[in-house]
Amino acid sequence: MSRNLLPAAASPDTRKRCFDPVVDADTRLLLLGSLPGEKSLAHSQYYAHPQNKFWTLMGEVLGVNLTSLPYEARLAALLAHGVGLWDVVAQAQRTGSLDSNIRERDDNDLLALAASLPRLHTIAFNGGTAAKLGIKVLGAQAQRYRIVSLPSSSPAYTLAYAQKLQAWLMLRGIEAT
């Protein structure tokens, strides 16, 4: 006799999957998040939650008003500046959007992606979970790159915007080198 061991409130399929990487041969800076949140998954867009400050922060870094652009133009602007996007986690069980709820994860092949990007020199992590997991996935190969751990752009991470911006501004100019 089989029994359903899921709590009554749990959805039978809470497995979440990341998006495809946004990179090209000129990617010099790769920004890695953990796993897209519910709003991002619902809109099939990186950092779609209106309170997530990713696009505002990257706009400050690049000197481009990314928030005023349509989504595809935002991605094109990142690529034009040598910036790529992806996530550390390929898929995982997660109820809601919090990284602390990630369970039974499968990680992306960051080593293969990094090896396919001939100009890549910096890998930045958007948040502590992405950094912790991503550095583990990269292993000894992490030493080949400049590694930058950034405070999460998520509204769940309550650091003041000015403090987040100060940390994110360390990326200014990295993408151009």
Pick the residue with more confidence: 95 or 82? 82
| pLDDT higher than threshold 70 for residue 42 | yes
- By annotation, the residues acting in catalysis are 52
* Sheet strands (E) in the chain: 15-17, 29-33, 83-87, 89-93, 103-107, 122-126, 146-150
- Residue identified by tokens 């990094």 is 114
Do you know the residue count of the chain? Answer: 177
Which domains does the chain carry?
17-171 (3.40.470.10)
Per-residue pLDDT band at 156 (split at 50, 70, 90): confident
Pick the residue with more confidence: 42 or 150? 150
| pLDDT higher than threshold 70 for residue 3 | no
Question: Average pLDDT over the chain, rounded to whole?
Answer: 86
pLDDT in tens, 8-36: 344 445 688 888 999 999 999 999 998 78
pLDDT given at position 41: 77
- This prediction's pTM: 0.86
Cβ neighbour number for residue 160 with a 10 Å cutoff? 9
